[in-house]
Structure 1
Amino acid sequence: MALIDRVPGDLNLYIGGMFTLRRRDALQQANITHVLSVLRLPLDDNLFSPFKQHMVVEVDDVEDENLLERFPSTNKFIQDGLDGGGGVLVHCAMGKSRSATCVMAYLMQRHNISAAQALSHVRQARSICEPNEGFMRQLELYGQMQTPDNVEETPAYQRWMYQREIELSRACGQAPEAEKIRFEDEHVIEGPVKFELRCRKCRRPLATSQYLLPHESTSNTDDKSGEGEETSPRNCAHHFLDPLSWMRPELEQGKLEGRLECPKCHTNVGKYAWQGMKCSCSEWIVPAISLAKGRVDEVRKSVAEIRRPPGAAAVPPPGTGHSRQNL
C-alpha cells in the first residue's frame, strides 16, 4: 500500500489529510513541491518548510461554506505546481471532503468531466473521499457553468449567491437588503421568449417566459395534445418569477411580504413573500414572487417570433410590404 495517495493518471497529484504531512520520506520521494492546505486550523510552519510553495484556503467542512469561489485560484495553484515539474499535495484535516472537493474541481476543468466522474476518479486514490452535500452541489454547479476561469462574473454563480442571501435573510426572519436583491432582467437578457405576461387591465407587459421559475405541476401531465408544448402550470393560481426591475420600488422597501402593482395602471397584479408561500398546487415556493393568473394574460409568441434572434426586426410576409414608391 502506498504511503501517500496519488490520483490515478499521468499527473503527479496527491490527496491526503494532516497526517500525510508527517510522511516526509514519502513526500520527498514523490517530489512534492507544492502543498495546498484546505482547512481552518492553526498550522505549524515547520511542516511546510521543505516545500517550494504553500497555499492555504481557510474553510470549514460545512455545507454553507463557499468553496466554489476559490476553485479558479486552487486550480491555478495545482496547475502551476504540475507545470513546474514537481508534485502537488492537496490536503485537509482528514483527506475526505475539502481536499477531495478541490481536487475534483481541478479534474473537472482539466478533463471536462462531471462532478460524479471526478469523484469516482478520486476515490480510486482515496476511497474515503466524500465531499459534504453543499460542496457536491457547488461542484455540480461548477460543471453546469462549464468550469470558468472567472467564477464570480458568471450569471449562474451570481444567481447562486443571490439565493444564499435569500436563505440567510429567511433564516433571520428579514427581507434581503436592497442592494443584494438580484433583478434578473438587469443581468440576463437572453434566450427565446415563448410567451409574455401582460396586465389584463392596461396590457402593459410585465414578464416574459424566460424569467418564470420552473414549477412542477401534475396538471402538465394531462396534456393530451401530444405536442409537448411548454406551458405554465394550469392548476396553479400564480406565475412565480424572478424579481424584475419594475418591482424595485416595492421590493426595496425591506418588507417581508406585500403586493405588486402594475407600474402603469397601478392595478394589483400579484404579491411577494420573501419567506415563501404555498402555491394552490401545494408546492412551497421560496422566495415567492408571483403574478396572479386572474390579473394577467398570457400572450403566446408565434414560431417565427420565438426563433427570431433578440433585437431582430420582424420581416413581413411576402406581398404585405410597401416599397418606397408606394409611401
Structure 2
Amino acid sequence: MPYLVRENLFIGNIGDAAEILEKGSSEITHVLSVLSSASISFFSEWRSSLEIPAKEIKRVFAGDSEFLEGSKSALSPEKLVYNMEYAGKDLKIVRMAVPIKDTEDENLLDYLEVCLDFIEDGRKNGATLVHCFAGVSRSAAIITAYLMRSEQLSQEAALESLRDCCEFVSPNDNFLEQLKMFEEMNFKVDRGNPKYKRFRLRILGDSYNRGHKIDSSKFGADPGLPREVESTNPETLPDGNKSSTVAYRCKKCRRVVAVQDNIVNHNPGEGMTAFQWQKRRSGNNFNKPDDFGCSSIFIEPLKWMKTVEEGAIEGKLSCVHCDARLGYFNWSGIQCNCGSWITPAFQLHKSRMDISTV
C-alpha cells in the first residue's frame, strides 16, 4: 500500500502503482512514475499478464520549445523529458512517466521542476502518487525536493519529515548532493549557477570515464552562430550595458568562440606557490599568488569543438573558422596557473582571444 506523506500526496513502489492503474482508486487521480523507461507499455512489459489501458496525451522532449521556454536544458534535444497519458481502468488517471535511473551519474535536477509542478497540480485536482521501482530512492528524492520547495525546508529537514511517514526511504548519495544544491539555489534549478555548471560538467566527465560516447548533442550551443548568440542570456558588463553580453573572440579571425554563459568558474588555488616544486628558490617575488591572475578561462564543451567530439581524451582546441589554436582540453583535468584543478577541462587561453560584446 502507498504511504501518505501529506494531504493528497502518496509515495509507493511499482506494485502499488500497477494495482491502482489496474483496479482504480477512490483517492489517487495522478500518478508520477519515475522509472528507467517512460514508455506507455512499461507495466505490461513488467508483468506480462497485466494489461493496463493507456491513451497518450503528449511526449515532451528537451528540444521542445514548450519545455525550453524560460530555461536552458542541459539535456540532449533528443532526450525524452516526460510522457503524459490517461491510464488505468477507466482512463481517468493522469500519469506522467519520467525516465530517471537510480545511478550515481544521473542528472536529477534537469527533470526536477516538471515533476514538482505535476505533483502540485495533482494535489490541487485530486491526489498524487509518486513511485519508482522500489519506492526507496528516486521517488523519495522527488518528494523530498517537493517538500523542500513547498515548505521551504532544508534537504535534511525534508528527508527527515519524509522518513516520519515512510522510514525506509533512502535516496542515493548522488541525489542527496543534488538536493543540497537545489536548496542552495533557493529551491529552483538555476542553470546559470556556477555550482550547477561544475556539477553538470562533472556528470559529463563521469560519463566519459565510464566509456560512454560523448556526442555533440550534449554540448553547449555554438555562440558563434547568430541564432545562438541571440538566445544567450545577457550579462551585465562593467559599464552597465545590460543589452550586451561578454564575448570571447578568436584573435586571428574575430569569430565568437565563447560567451559569459559558457564559462565554468573556479576558485583560485594557491597561485604560483602551487608550482613551487618546479622552480628554483631565489629571492625574487614571483611566488606571490596575488601578482598573477588566471591566464585562461575554462568553459563547458561547445558544439564547435570537433576534436572533443571525436573522442580523444585530450588535445588542442582550434578555431572552427581559421584553425588558430585557442587552447587545450583534457577529460582528466588541467591545472590553471592559479593552482586550481578543473576536471574535465576545456581551456581557452586569454592571450589567444579578444574580449568584446555581442
TM-score by length of 2: 0.54
Equivalence for 2:4: 6
Correspondence for 2:207 among 168, 175, 181:
168
SS at match of 1:172: coil
- CA-CA distance at 1:248 after TM superposition: 4.5
Which amino acid in 2 is paired with 1:168? S
1:284-299 matches, cutoff 5 A: 284-290=341-347
The alignment covers a number of residue pairs equal to 276
CA–CA separation in structure 2 for the residues paired with 1:116 and 1:161: 23
CA–CA separation in structure 2 for the residues paired with 1:283 and 1:244: 19
Q: Which has the larger radius of gyration?
A: 1
- CA-CA distance at 1:100 after TM superposition: 0.8
- CA-CA distance at 1:133 after TM superposition: 2.0
Which amino acid in 1 is paired with 2:269? S
1:182-197 matches, cutoff 5 A: 182=220, 186=229, 187-191=232-236
Structure 1, unaligned runs of 5 or more: 222-230, 300-309, 312-327
CA–CA separation in structure 1 for the residues paired with 2:127 and 2:173: 29
CA–CA separation in structure 1 for the residues paired with 2:2 and 2:327: 60
Equivalence for 1:15: 11
Correspondence for 2:102 among 58, 61, 80:
61
2:148 is the counterpart of 1:108: yes
2:126 is the counterpart of 1:126: no
CA contact (8 A) 2:272 2:338 kept: no
CA–CA separation in structure 2 for the residues paired with 1:235 and 1:112: 42
CA–CA separation in structure 2 for the residues paired with 1:244 and 1:77: 32
- CA-CA distance at 1:130 after TM superposition: 1.8
2:148 is the counterpart of 1:96: no
Alignment deviations for residues 72-109 of structure 1 (CA, whole Å, 9 cap, x no partner): 3332332233212x333222233211111221232233
CA contact (8 A) 1:217 1:235 kept: no
CA–CA separation in structure 2 for the residues paired with 1:36 and 1:262: 45
Equivalence for 2:27: 31
CA–CA separation in structure 2 for the residues paired with 1:136 and 1:173: 24
1:1-327 matches, cutoff 5 A: 4-8=2-6, 11-18=7-14, 20=16, 31-40=27-36, 42=46, 44-45=50-51, 49=89, 52-55=92-95, 56-84=97-125, 86-147=126-187, 154-155=191-192, 164-172=203-211, 176-178=214-216, 180-182=218-220, 186=229, 187-191=232-236, 211=263, 213-218=265-270, 239-242=296-299, 248=304, 254=310, 256-259=313-316, 270-278=327-335, 284-290=341-347
Equivalence for 2:76: none
Structure 2, unaligned runs of 5 or more: 37-42, 53-86, 224-228, 240-245, 274-287
CA–CA separation in structure 1 for the residues paired with 2:118 and 2:319: 51
Alignment deviations for residues 239-298 of structure 1 (CA, whole Å, 9 cap, x no partner): 4521598x94776674543345799x99977433234235577754222233569x689x
- Does the C-alpha gap of structure 1 residues 257 and 125 become closer, same or farther in structure 2, counting only changes over 3 Å? same
SS at match of 1:271: strand
Q: CA RMSD in A?
A: 5.3
CA contact (8 A) 1:256 1:273 kept: yes
CA–CA separation in structure 1 for the residues paired with 2:307 and 2:266: 21
SS at match of 1:109: helix
- CA-CA distance at 1:216 after TM superposition: 4.6
- Does the C-alpha gap of structure 1 residues 110 and 161 become closer, same or farther in structure 2, counting only changes over 3 Å? same
- CA-CA distance at 1:182 after TM superposition: 2.4
CA contact (8 A) 1:34 1:81 kept: yes
CA–CA separation in structure 2 for the residues paired with 1:234 and 1:209: 24
- Does the C-alpha gap of structure 1 residues 290 and 120 become closer, same or farther in structure 2, counting only changes over 3 Å? same
Equivalence for 2:70: none
Equivalence for 1:304: none
